[in-house]
Amino acid sequence: MINAGVGESQISAIFAELNLPGISKTALKAREREIGPSIESVAEISCTTAIQQEMKLLQAVNNMTCKVAKRKKIKAKLHSCRKNWNGSSKAMEPFLTSTCLQEVIQKGVEYRTLDNGRRFNHFYSRQAKCFSYGISQNKGSTHGIKTSLDALPSHMFNEHSSCSPTWCKSLRDENYRQAHILQAHVQSTNANENMNHMVARKAPKTVTYSESESLDFWVSAAVAQKYDGRQYILQVNETHGLSPGHYTHRKCTVHDERRSNLAVKQKSVSMKRRRSELKNFIDEVYEGKTYETAVGVSDIEIEHIEDIPPCPAECSETPHAYGQDDVIVFDLETTGLGATSSIVQIAALHVSSGQHLNLFVKPKCGYIPTTASNITGLEFHGGVLYQHCKEVTSVAASEALLAFKRWLEAFGSHILLVAHDVMFDARLLVAKYQEEGITVPETIGFADSLRLFRTVYPGRQNYRLASLVHDIAGVDFGAHDASEDVYALSSILQLQTNLDKLSNCATTVSSVKFNLQELNNEKIYKGSYTTFVESKIISKAQATRLSRSGISIEHLKKVYSRSGLDGMQAVLKDRGAGKFYTKLASALDAVFSENNINLN
């Protein structure tokens, strides 16, 4: 069970499917506690052996909580408590590193440190600087450029036999100490990534094992498997006086032989060459063959290289941790629901201090459609903005956006803007700032109160703001007035026991920009797939995904002309065409071949 990375719920589910009675959770946990220490012992022995063989890996686990000890109003029973850390999560990793290093020293193992690790941060920028210098100082001299570029790699590693005294200070001054030299022996991180993968297979992050001794057992099993292979299972069985068993021994041997053969195969020259070919293949599909044997700098005219537009880089940045004092409720009233709609009202309310902002904005499009006026009560006639037939003071869009930004800056750099169904308001606000050339601070976050209330009040049939305010606060208000909307939303947010939950519903400015780029790509490219969608060669969902990734049907034709079916399959997979991308590529291959799209 521990070796397979499954728990009581998975075992019971398997037995239920076989129409067999499940195993008691208590009994299963008792057996786990019997076998777990033996696995930890085997893992400790394997670590010691590995250290002696200079594999340099130690095992250490820190747990911040214990589900038995944290139970409220219940006296904790005698148990194997694994809670051994009271500090922050940020400090846990350096503490574990220090602990492992101390254990290595105690076992008499020699170690060495990297010489000035900060040099790694500047190595590539230094290399680029030297490259540019070699080109600029040898303009018009082919021999000079060749000599400088040949000397660059060895120069970066403090080897100056190929350098010239005209530009290398190390040759002119014996006392000169070159900065940013890589002198340490840096090894691959593949072993670490493999270890992380093995631990994740046995103790996935989606399941919480860290509140009991289970996590220690699972990690120990991964460590033992890393060094001893599946044979560690036989050692654990023998420790408990159990026969390893013929089938267990055979299965472990098969797994270990397969792993050993795969490791040898992955290190072979042919496999390394194959991985390099696959890595470069997708680049050639996008860019064409700009690099090949004996190509010269003068042989390529850059303007003639036809590139496929790159796929928008999805933002991996996580939102900041926001507190209650960072929450600002905001709302926009617009001339429509499209991405090109104009903003006609901006309202915001700082929840903690109660400071309020209400700006009326002259629509940049010059008018407000009747459908929007019927909802918001805002009309624009003769350059004057009216609300419910009363004239209101309004400013230009650029003025309003700058005023809103200055108002936000008064509350600090980390601000969480909250709105009901926030993505529409966030996209439009960021798009308008981009149109006006105004920078939006990346530290601003956008949180969706709709997501929050769906979590807090599950099962409701209606999550409209007016309905929520009526049911929670017992108040009716005039919806679609931005100023009243922010007060209403703030009133029910303040009734929540923990506003910190809003951080779980937050997104970043970078994510909003990524979403805007996708929608813009869809607007530009989706029309090119119309014929193929109508012919049912491409589904609507596939056309949407491909167009949002930034390619049209003409780009796919270009890919096909360069690299044929294989290239088109690679691009469709890279652009998220779905699990049926091979079927789609074959269908497009048939169409393109009928239209005589020639391969290069």
Provide the β-strand partners of residue 448: 419
Per-residue model confidence (pLDDT) at position 302: 32
384-387 β-sheet, strand order: 378-381, 384-387, 390-392
Burial of 563 (0-12, 13-18, 19+ CB in 10 A): buried
pLDDT of 498 > 80? The answer is no
Per-residue model confidence (pLDDT) at position 359: 93
As a 3-state breakdown, the chain gives helix, strand, coil percent values, each rounded to 5, of 55, 10, 40
Other C-beta atoms within 10 Å of 523: how many?
13
- What's the pLDDT band for 350 if we cut at 50, 70, 90? very high
- What's the pLDDT band for 356 if we cut at 50, 70, 90? very high
Per-residue model confidence (pLDDT) at position 560: 85
Per-residue model confidence (pLDDT) at position 120: 46
When pLDDT is averaged across residues 524-533 and rounded to a whole number, the result is 90
What's the CA gap between 82 and 213, in Å, rounded?
6
At 281 the three-state DSSP class reads: helix
The enclosing H or E element of 409 equals helix 397-409
Q: Are 567 and 560 in contact (CB under 8 A)?
A: yes
Provide the β-strand partners of residue 392: 385
pLDDT of 115 > 80? The answer is no
Pseudo-torsion of CA 31, 34, 37, 43, nearest 10°? -50
Per-residue model confidence (pLDDT) at position 210: 60
In 3D, which of 358, 328, 325, 363 has the Cα closest to residue 343?
363
pLDDT of 306 > 70? The answer is no
Per-residue model confidence (pLDDT) at position 191: 73
Per-residue model confidence (pLDDT) at position 188: 63
What Å distances lie between residue 327 and 116, 360, 417, 449, CA to CA? 42, 22, 6, 11
Residues 6+ apart with CB under 8 A from 424: 337
What's the CA gap between 447 and 509, in Å, rounded?
11
- What's the pLDDT band for 119 if we cut at 50, 70, 90? very low
When pLDDT is averaged across residues 528-546 and rounded to a whole number, the result is 89
pLDDT of 510 > 50? The answer is yes
pLDDT of 296 > 50? The answer is no
When pLDDT is averaged across residues 236-243 and rounded to a whole number, the result is 78
pLDDT of 313 > 60? The answer is yes
- What's the pLDDT band for 184 if we cut at 50, 70, 90? very low
What's the CA gap between 509 and 513, in Å, rounded?
6
- What's the pLDDT band for 405 if we cut at 50, 70, 90? very high
At 244 the three-state DSSP class reads: coil
| More confidently predicted of 464 and 11 | 464
Residues 6+ apart with CB under 8 A from 427: 339, 512, 515, 516, 519
When pLDDT is averaged across residues 418-441 and rounded to a whole number, the result is 89
In 3D, which of 342, 349, 347 has the Cα closest to residue 331?
347
User: Each residue of 123-181: pLDDT tens digit?
Assistant: 556 667 777 777 777 777 777 788 888 887 777 777 777 787 777 777 777 666 655 44
Per-residue model confidence (pLDDT) at position 403: 93
What Å distances lie between residue 461 and 54, 457, 489, CA to CA? 63, 10, 19
At 397 the three-state DSSP class reads: helix
When pLDDT is averaged across residues 195-200 and rounded to a whole number, the result is 79
When pLDDT is averaged across residues 391-404 and rounded to a whole number, the result is 92
**Tell me, what DSSP letter sits at residue 341?**
P
User: Each residue of 15-54: pLDDT tens digit?
Assistant: 777 778 877 778 877 777 777 778 777 777 777 776 655 5
Mean pLDDT of the chain: 77
What's the CA gap between 487 and 478, in Å, rounded?
11
User: Each residue of 61-73: pLDDT tens digit?
Assistant: 555 556 555 555 5
Residues 6+ apart with CB under 8 A from 488: 465, 466, 469, 473, 475, 477
**Inter-axis angle of helices 232-239 and 246-267, nearest 10:** 150
What's the CA gap between 531 and 550, in Å, rounded?
18
Per-residue model confidence (pLDDT) at position 301: 37
Backbone angles phi, psi at 297, to 5 degrees: -60, -35
| Winning range, highest mean pLDDT, from 35-44, 106-115, 261-270 | 261-270
pLDDT of 303 > 50? The answer is no
The enclosing H or E element of 122 equals helix 120-136
User: Each residue of 420-430: pLDDT tens digit?
Assistant: 888 999 999 99
What's the CA gap between 286 and 284, in Å, rounded?
5
When pLDDT is averaged across residues 77-92 and rounded to a whole number, the result is 65
Percent with pLDDT over 90 in the chain? 10
Per-residue model confidence (pLDDT) at position 183: 47
When pLDDT is averaged across residues 493-513 and rounded to a whole number, the result is 78
What's the CA gap between 277 and 290, in Å, rounded?
15
Per-residue model confidence (pLDDT) at position 468: 87
| Bridge pairing between strands 416-419 and 445-448 | parallel
What's the CA gap between 18 and 173, in Å, rounded?
80
| More confidently predicted of 44 and 547 | 547
| Winning range, highest mean pLDDT, from 508-517, 556-565, 591-600 | 508-517
pLDDT of 88 > 50? The answer is yes
pLDDT of 413 > 80? The answer is no
